Amino acid sequence: MKYTQLGRTGLKVSRLVLGTMNFGPQTDEADSHAIMDAALETGINFFDTANVYGWGENKGRTESIIGNWFAKGGERRDKVVLATKMYGNMAPEGDAWPNHDKLSALNIRRAVDASLKRLQTDYIDVYQFHHVDRSTPFEEIWQAIDVLVQQGKILYAGSSNFPGYKIAQANEIAARRGGTIGLVSEQCLYNLAERRAEMEVIPAAQEYGLGVIPWSPLHGGLLGGVIKKEVQGGRRASGRAADTLADPTSRAQIQSYEDLLEKHGIEPGEAALAWLLTRPGVTGPIVGPRTAEQLASAVRAVELELSDDLLTSLDEIFPGPGPSPEAFAW
């Protein structure tokens, strides 16, 4: 496994991030624990979760599964850089109550204590804002975060799904307050097929020293060899991938992508991850393996070297927006 600094911090993290969103809803606790053990064995030390994972009536279940794994000992907690997120309402479905969501100082205090309890730990390495809260000023947010840092409950703060201007606003206000490090990471939708983050989000993250953590690196399975699997009678596309393949132009684009990688003898999913690892500012993509082979495939991507010719061909199939601001200025 290869490692890098998380943005401008001194924190060393693996170039792959273990995503845990499926722990509970799709992967039972025993299998989830096995995946986390296997991730550590391969050198993955950066784990990502969120308080709402588990979803519906089971919100918080994923954090509890991770907490039970930490409780097994074996230096599991010490070896992991733990990131979780808060924003969503954690009250039972249909029982939402004011101040049980978003980024008020009250909810930040409530949410972090609940996450610490479920995770069975006394600190969170990277505490992330899952979405923008347009109602709460950053002065209040940073005051709450400063208290948590002083209490030793969190070490760093990060964002998720933030536009570029909010990254800038958050860190400018943090700088004016003094003594607040501000955001150190941004978790955003970014992959070969979805490159809008290159317009504003990634330039802002680079300018302010945030590590970029792409989610959905295979774009809902679309970049994982979906047509080949379909032809071979394997798992059929569903959700966003199925909707995309229903469009003839998009299907032809994905077919060109798979044909190109077959020519080079590279698995599509591994190429998609390896491509992200070549992108400026990217710390590491979030991978959510359901099996040991999927985890092994993701790890192989870290060592995969994509030739300049192949990178050029990928850009031709999935053209990005171009440099910012020229891409939208003229």
Distances (CA, A) of 157 to 80, 180, 319: 17, 10, 32
Give the global pTM.
0.96
Residue 292 — pLDDT band, cuts 50, 70, 90? confident
- pLDDT the model gives residue 32: 96
Question: Tokens at residue 4, please?
Answer: 């890098």
**Whether pLDDT at 125 is above 90:** yes
- 186-203 average pLDDT score: 98
- pLDDT the model gives residue 235: 67
Q: Which residues are catalytic?
A: 53
Find tokens 């918080």 and name the residue: 60
Selected residue with higher pLDDT from 149 and 180: 149
- Within 10 Å of residue 290's Cβ, how many Cβ atoms? 12
Distances (CA, A) of 11 to 6, 76, 184, 205: 6, 17, 10, 17
Question: Tokens at residue 265, please?
Answer: 């003898």
State the greatest distance between any 2 C-alpha atoms of the chain, in Å, as a whole number: 58
Phi/psi at 247 (nearest 5 deg)? Answer: -90, 120
Residues above pLDDT 70, as percent of the chain: 99
Selected residue with higher pLDDT from 234 and 116: 116
**Whether pLDDT at 93 is above 80:** no
- pLDDT the model gives residue 265: 97
Residue 232 — pLDDT band, cuts 50, 70, 90? confident
- CA dihedral for 109, 123, 158, 287, sign (positive or negative): negative
Lowest-pLDDT choice from 41-45, 231-235, 263-267: 231-235
Residue 45 — pLDDT band, cuts 50, 70, 90? very high
